[in-house]
């Protein structure tokens, strides 16, 4: 029995590998930071990005659109 993967998985895997390499390269450049400081920065940046995406998805779920109340469409 062969497992079939979604056609986009190759693209997703390549993007994951690219991001991992970029993060590791960036981390290597941050010689003055400890591992914990690097992790704190990554956590802050990623959680902020996720929070912003979630905010608009929640707004869409509740109101059926992405606009704030009073925004022009």
The reported pLDDT for the residue numbered 4 is 84
What is the predicted pLDDT for the residue at 71? 59
Please state the domain extents for the chain: 9-63
> What average pLDDT does this structure show over 48-65?
92
CA-based R_g, the chain, Å:
19
Of the chain, the end-to-end C-alpha distance in Å amounts to: 51
pLDDT confidence of 70, banded at 50, 70, 90? Answer: low
**Across the chain, what does the average pLDDT equal?**
90
CB atoms within 10 A of CB 38: 14
59, 65 Cβ separation under 8 angstroms: yes
Mean pLDDT, residues 2-29? 93
DSSP H/E element including 15: helix 9-29
């Amino acid at each position: 029995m062969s497992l079939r993967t979604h056609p986009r998985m190759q693209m997703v895997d390549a993007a994951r590998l690219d991001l991992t390499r970029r993060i590791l390269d960036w981390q290597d450049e941050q010689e003055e930071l400890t591992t914990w400081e690097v992790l704190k920065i990554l956590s802050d940046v990623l959680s902020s990005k996720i929070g912003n995406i979630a905010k608009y998805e929640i707004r869409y779920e509740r109101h059926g659109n992405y606009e704030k109340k009073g925004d022009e469409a």
